[in-house]
Amino acid sequence: MKRRIMLVLFGLLVLLLSPSVYGVEGTLKLTIKPVKKRYTVFEPVQIQFTIKNISQQPVSLNNLSWQNGSRWLYALRIYDAKKNRIIPAGQYVFRKEPEPEEITMINPGEIFEHYLAIEEMYNRLSPGKYTLVGLYHNNPYNRDIDDQLWVGELVSKPVEVEIEPLTTEALDLYISHLRQGDDAQQQFRAMQILALHQEPRAISFLRGIALQETNANNTEAIKALGLIGEEAIPALSSLLVNLDQSRWPEIIFALGMTKSTKAIPYLVPLLLVKQEENISAWALKALANIKDVQSRDLIVLKLKDPRETIRQIAVEALGKSKDERFIPLLLEMLQNEFRANVRRQIAKALYLLTGEIYPYKDFQGKITAFNPEKDLSQDEKDGLHDYLARDRQVSKPEDPE
């Protein structure tokens, strides 16, 4: 009976996430179009959103949402050349605040256009080809809107853009900004651009900036080294020796950002039980970013670590791996784990891997069930949406109209 209830709950979630229900077919059509196909690094990518009413009745468009606070109206999901969704930059939110006066009526056959410029990004795009998928979230508001149809989430067909690298001459100029260091903002921008180009000539300068305790950009310099990748690992390892242990989490995180197996020998010693738990936790998170058999094996070993936090992080990493081979291991652990926090994390990992809700014992020893609506972040829900609707993921660029 419990199993049946769980399957019903899962079915309801899939219905909520399903594009065929979440965006009613035959009502509105969303199209996105970049102003141009090629951009340079840091250049704003301007996107036109066009919504056309293809139904036989008027539809209200709005930027309103009232589901546990305001959410987004227009957004983009961004995929790299390997069709991996970029996170956390994979969904840019352009408008959050509800404004009732901006409700727009769109009649049959009419179109509504809206331009968005991606100017400020948490994680800027490095040179390469990207696929963009547009989303429009037309939510019901907390009042009657003249019985107009609620459409839900609209998803566009994908389009492609290319981010072109800067010229060697331009990169030389940014390297000179690292040398001078007389303008903190100029230096900060130079670090970001050189990191996105994975420019090895910047490594020695970035290391020097990271060692300057009074430089406001020293933390950004460590992050930039991580983005440059494998060639920056020796510089990062030297920082572990030369900087205070309070700076280690930044350095460890950057070693994981390199996504290189050559970082593993520097991370393994930090996983030892005798190390401070915070340092071990960061090392484990860094290993989770290195998609390699060796790093996965090390994460599995940490499922039996005596420290609760370390076991939680190891379970979280396996849940995000999307590797179904870990399911039996996690099911066994769910039965034997003695800490409620870790049991909850196991149930969450199993849900991300299987889409099924697994019961577990809570803090009072009572049987409870993982609640995806409450216990998943919005990013996790979006990621699960992509995972469960793989056939809706990036296919081919939209044909020009």
Q: Residue 85's domain is classified under what CATH number?
A: 2.60.40.2970
Q: What is the DSSP string of 86-113?
A: PTTTTEEE---S--GGG-EEE-TT-EEE
Q: How far is CA 276 from CA 28, 50, 238, 249, 307, in A?
A: 55, 53, 20, 11, 11
Domain of 208 in residue numbering reads as 166-263
Position 150 confidence tier, pLDDT thresholds 50, 70, 90: low
Position 275 confidence tier, pLDDT thresholds 50, 70, 90: low
**Is 256 among the domain residues?**
yes
Amino acid at 103: I
**Cβ neighbours around 65 below 10 Å, total:** 21
**Among 89-93, 153-157, 319-323, whose mean pLDDT is lowest?**
89-93
42 and 139 belong to one structural domain: yes
pLDDT recorded at residue 234:
97
Which residues face 135 on adjacent strands?
75, 155
Cis peptide bond prior to 234, omega within 30° of 0: no
Which of residues 101 and 73 earns the better pLDDT score?
A: 73
The mean pLDDT of 298-325, rounded to a whole number, is 91
Q: What is the DSSP letter of 64?
A: -
Give me the CATH number covering residue 221. Answer: 1.25.10.10
Q: Two tokens at 293?
A: 């058999």
Which of residues 357 and 90 earns the better pLDDT score?
A: 357
Which of residues 83 and 254 earns the better pLDDT score?
A: 254
Position 3 confidence tier, pLDDT thresholds 50, 70, 90: very low
Is the pLDDT at 385 greater than 80? The verdict is no
Check: CB of residue 163 under 8 Å from CB of residue 92.
no
**Is 33 among the domain residues?**
yes
143, 164, 185: which is the final residue of a domain?
A: 164
Q: Is 243 helix (H, G, I), strand (E, B) or coil?
A: coil
Is the pLDDT at 273 greater than 50? The verdict is yes
Distance CA(267)–CA(286), nearest Å, equals 8
Q: Two tokens at 244?
A: 């205070």
**Is 120 among the domain residues?**
yes
176 and 204 belong to one structural domain: yes
Is the pLDDT at 327 greater than 60? The verdict is yes
pLDDT recorded at residue 375:
73
Provide the number of structural domains found in the chain: 3
201 and 281 belong to one structural domain: no
pLDDT recorded at residue 196:
92
Which of residues 129 and 86 earns the better pLDDT score?
A: 129
Q: What is the DSSP letter of 247?
A: G
Q: Which of 272, 263, 265 is nearest to 231 (CA)?
A: 263
**Is 113 among the domain residues?**
yes
Going by DSSP bridges, is the β-strand pair 159-164/38-40 parallel, antiparallel, or unpaired?
parallel
**Is 344 among the domain residues?**
yes
Check: CB of residue 143 under 8 Å from CB of residue 170.
no
H/E stretch holding 138 reads: strand 128-138
247 and 287 belong to one structural domain: no
Across all residues in the chain, what is the average pLDDT?
78
225 and 160 belong to one structural domain: no
pTM over 0.85: no
**Is 375 among the domain residues?**
no
